[in-house]
Structure 1
Amino acid sequence: MPTSFIWQTPTWPGMHYDAISVGTELARAHRAQGVVEGKLTSIGFEQRLELAAEAWSQEAVATAAIEGERIDLTAVRSSVARRLGVGNQEGPNAPRSVEGLLDIMDDAVLQRDAPLTHERLCAWQAALFPTGYSGMSRILVGAYREHAEPMQIVSGHVGRERVHYEAPSSARVPSEMQVFLEWFNAITEHDSLVKAALAHLWFETIHPFEDGNGRIGRVIVDLVLARESGEVSRLIRTSQRLLERRNDYYQQLERAQHGQLDVTEWVLWFVEQVRVSCEEASVAVDAALAKAVFWTSHQDKALTTRQRKVVNLLLDAGPKGFEGGMSTRKYESIGSTSRATASRELIELEEMGLLGKVGAGRSTRYYLNIPGWGPADVVVAKLPASS
């Protein structure tokens, strides 16, 4: 038998939190949101779309990975590119289930002002499981769970399972969801980030579907953020942050579901993750701005197709993103060329001022000539004086 401590479902929506304790972190998170929105005004529409496409792609992969599902980032990127009309739209098609995930993520942003209803949630869940199967198991799709057995969140090997939480009985789900939806759609006194935290916790506690609750619960977070920030919210990679802190994420949910109505610790933790996601989005916008300035300053340089490919690769990697810098050997491999050609073209890029270098001989490494994007001792070749 599984070892467990079955928690009683809290009486929602009687949950509460310490507004003073949460207030400081809320202020920091909203400042971080404002910084992202302010920086976005400095870049072009096409660049904003590119940033949104990459963030959305990474979010889809991350929310699936939290549930232990691996999906192909390349296929996701091409699907997102087609949806937004930007980037490489000729890539592979994503499986129907992945397209369904992108559909519901898109719906949360584009239809952010529409009410959240039983029908909408059931449509979201059905989109995740177009075949009616979760793995090898047949599940009920497009409807709340109906099975008589308790819905339990379990970990561990067969015979040694640990039950972390037992959700309300299936018979209670419709009434529990009705109360949740009335609260969610009503105007409340809660700050938007607090509402996202409470909504996610509450939905996961009810666990209304046979499968897909985690992904849908995180799309509900997307919906709340989109209602505040519109399409800018696509840049806030909350699921990627939750994946990075996956163990903490599960532990924090578990503690909050313990039956106590004071959920201050959960709200504080959740708002902190949103703040960090905003700060990371700000770094991504900075990188996009740096790329734009870089190409503007070098628009008069005649580069080979291979040189442009390598420079774009370094730019896409971002600050400190291309580990160890660019070497002749790496250039040779990436550009499918000879060692001599690789060495010559790297030297040309340095002489034109696109790259700086560190070291000498076999230890020579090249970095983009962008302040802060390489080691402090990067040296850039001096351009010849104009006559």
Structure 2
Amino acid sequence: MNAPRATLIWQLPDWPNLQANDPALLPLLLDAREWLGRVRGAYSAAGLDPAAPATQDVWQQEALATSAIEGESLNPASVRSSVMRRLGLGEDQEAPRDERVDGLVAMLDEATRLHDQALDEARLCRWHAALFPSGYSGMTRIRVGQYRNHSDAMQIVSGLPGREVVHYTAPPSAQVANEMQRLLAWLAHTGAETADAPHQDGLVRAAIAHLWFESIHPFEDGNGRIGRAVVDLVLARDAGSPVRFISLSRQLLAERKAYYAALQQAQHGGSTDVSPWVMWFVRQLAAACQHACGLLDAAQQRSRFWVVHGAVALNARQYKVVQRLLDAGDGGFLGGLNAEKYMKLTGASKATATRDMAHLVEHGLLSVRGQGKATRYFVNVPGWDHAIDAGQGPPAQGS
């Protein structure tokens, strides 16, 4: 039997007057704002536009991660191709097309690109329908493009049949329309920036909106993905830009257990002062910005590499391998490159692989370490040490 739970947040007398009043929140907001400024500054300095490769990477991370949080694994090639289509860059003809992926990417795009348009029930229901084009969630037929209306309790449950653990129970379906009307009215009012609208920091608003939406759990399925798209919309409004600078879902996936725990703590905390949740959320936002800055720095390093070496004549095999090493990043290609790995990546013979790599070394695209069977090759980017301690000789062979 499950242990008794504290009063659910939506059962509190002052629900849904969610607040974040802890003074400890202020320095966290200042830190997150500083990191957001760094990310935007890095994008501006790099001259990146919404279709730049670095931006595509963020899109792909967001789509893959927001689904992975829910335990759904998407085909990365399908996601990449769908993002390319959405950004007007054509598509990968070899990638399998998936309507679910296209629907997810369309939702993520609309949440940011049309951030200045009203978020209403019709829009949320379009997002939901896009996520479930077949009308099914797995093998189960669900109510698509509409709020839930079943009489059974909407519960967040884990565990095997007969040993389930109920983590949270949402408001009854009969209350959902009214609950959502209040949430959407609050979002419109606090984001209007009019004289009578109460001032509230946009990052705090994003955190509260997500908790509020997840606490209502208005749909039969897809609430997590839609709830994170709501966050994207609020953050885009706050930035006044449709550019997706960061992948917050990637950070939430990395902290998935803590993410669920923080939500559940707020939903059972016995108070509508949800400062602990907001502070946790803001910390994750700052961490996502730090990661984005790292990605941008790596993207600029790759660009500088090709500026330096762009005049070197490369065959398709060589270009593919060098780009693979660059994409892996500093130390990302475990154990370095050798002839066997080159052959596996390109299908070349050993003689051709050896000749190709020698050419790359001669023209400075690769550096070489070790001798004989211990010879390893590394992409020659200034500042990259490939996680090798020079005093310990060449790295061991990796996979």
Q: TM-score, normalization: structure 1? A: 0.92
Contact 2:113 2:242 in 1 (8 A): no
Contact 1:5 1:163 in 2 (8 A): no
Query: Helix, strand or coil for the counterpart of 2:46?
Result: coil
Match of 1:153 among 156, 181, 194: 156
User: Bigger shift: 177-186 or 122-131?
Assistant: 122-131
Match of 1:197 among 204, 207, 210: 207
Distance verdict in 2 for CA 1:351–1:179, change over 3 Å: same
Match of 2:92 among 89, 94, 97: 89
Contact 1:4 1:164 in 2 (8 A): no
Q: Who is 2:379 aligned against?
A: 368
Distance verdict in 2 for CA 1:317–1:46, change over 3 Å: farther
User: Bigger shift: 199-208 or 254-263?
Assistant: 254-263
Q: Who is 1:384 aligned against?
A: none
In 1, Cα distance between equivalents of 2:20 and 2:48:
40
Match of 1:295 among 306, 313, 329: 306
Q: What is the deviation of 1:121?
A: 1.0
Distance verdict in 2 for CA 1:94–1:190, change over 3 Å: farther
In 2, Cα distance between equivalents of 1:67 and 1:247:
12
Task: Give aligned-pair identity as a percent.
Answer: 47
In 1, Cα distance between equivalents of 2:50 and 2:151:
51
Q: Do residues 140 (structure 1) and 151 (structure 2) align?
A: no
Q: Who is 2:336 aligned against?
A: 325
Q: What is the deviation of 1:2?
A: 5.8
Q: Do residues 282 (structure 1) and 293 (structure 2) align?
A: yes
Match of 1:111 among 108, 111, 114: 114
Q: Who is 2:396 aligned against?
A: none
Contact 1:56 1:234 in 2 (8 A): yes
Contact 1:6 1:165 in 2 (8 A): no
Q: Do residues 340 (structure 1) and 343 (structure 2) align?
A: no
Q: What is the deviation of 1:304?
A: 2.1
Distance verdict in 2 for CA 1:224–1:31, change over 3 Å: same
Measured against aligned partners, the alpha-carbon deviations of 1:267-300 in whole angstroms (never above 9, x if no partner) come to 1111111111111111111111111111111122
AA aligned to 1:366 is Y
AA aligned to 1:327 is N
AA aligned to 1:141 is V
Q: Who is 1:228 aligned against?
A: 238
In 2, Cα distance between equivalents of 1:139 and 1:186:
32
Q: How does 1:237-252 map to 2 (within 5 A)?
A: 237-252=247-262
Contact 2:82 2:91 in 1 (8 A): no
Q: TM-score, normalization: structure 2? A: 0.89
Query: Helix, strand or coil for the counterpart of 2:310?
Result: coil
Q: Who is 2:35 aligned against?
A: 32
Q: Who is 1:79 aligned against?
A: 82
Q: What is the deviation of 1:47?
A: 8.5
Q: Do residues 212 (structure 1) and 215 (structure 2) align?
A: no
In 1, Cα distance between equivalents of 2:50 and 2:306:
13
* Unaligned segments of structure 1, at least 5 residues: 379-387
AA aligned to 2:228 is R
Contact 2:49 2:55 in 1 (8 A): no
Q: What is the deviation of 1:375?
A: 4.1
Q: What is the deviation of 1:48?
A: 5.4
Q: Who is 1:308 aligned against?
A: 319
Cα RMSD after superposing both structures:
2.1
Measured against aligned partners, the alpha-carbon deviations of 1:115-167 in whole angstroms (never above 9, x if no partner) come to 11111111111211122221121211221111111111111111111111111
Q: What is the deviation of 1:376?
A: 5.7
In 2, Cα distance between equivalents of 1:356 and 1:238:
36
Q: What is the deviation of 1:245?
A: 1.0
Match of 2:125 among 104, 122, 125: 122
User: Bigger shift: 200-209 or 25-34?
Assistant: 25-34
Q: Who is 1:385 aligned against?
A: none
Query: Helix, strand or coil for the counterpart of 1:153?
Result: strand
Distance verdict in 2 for CA 1:72–1:271, change over 3 Å: same
* Unaligned segments of structure 2, at least 5 residues: 191-197, 391-399
In 2, Cα distance between equivalents of 1:63 and 1:132:
20
Match of 1:182 among 185, 189, 193: 185
Q: What is the deviation of 1:15?
A: 2.2
Q: Who is 2:362 aligned against?
A: 351
Contact 1:51 1:235 in 2 (8 A): no
Query: Helix, strand or coil for the counterpart of 1:208?
Result: coil
In 1, Cα distance between equivalents of 2:116 and 2:41:
23
In 1, Cα distance between equivalents of 2:128 and 2:97:
18
